[in-house]
Amino acid sequence: MIANYNDAGLDLSYDPEFYALMAESFERSVGRRLAPESQGAEWLYDRSPAVVLAHNTDADPRFIYANRAAQACFEYSWDEFVTLPSRLSAEAPDRAERERLLNAVAANGFIADYRGLRIA
């Protein structure tokens, strides 16, 4: 059974069920694998060069996953990320662009071309 990802305090960094959910969703939406064939949750979290973030479905979404590439890029630790409402990851003037990003994700299931200043 997949956990309720709106619950605070879950450590999803190496969670195989959460990885499977992200990998299946990514492959269905993007048409390619999230990780190399023989790799899984540990590779995605520790060694993926791509920034991978996920947030929950709360009214004010909070990050629930941030791989090490995301942590390095944003300069947040895992504990800082998973308590951060995702809206606070952009400076106030850039929040309209963040809203465009979220609308594109809602319409397409993912976004691969986002560029913008993030708050560290």
Cα torsion for 37, 42, 48, 50, to the nearest 10°? Answer: 100
Any alpha helices (H) in 32-94, and if so which ranges? Answer: 41-46, 68-74, 78-81
Contact 50, 65 (CB under 8 A): no
- pLDDT (tens digit per residue) in 12-67: 999 999 999 999 999 998 899 999 999 999 999 999 999 999 988 888 889 999 99
The predicted model scores a pTM of 0.77
Task: Map tokens 């299931």 to a residue.
Answer: 109
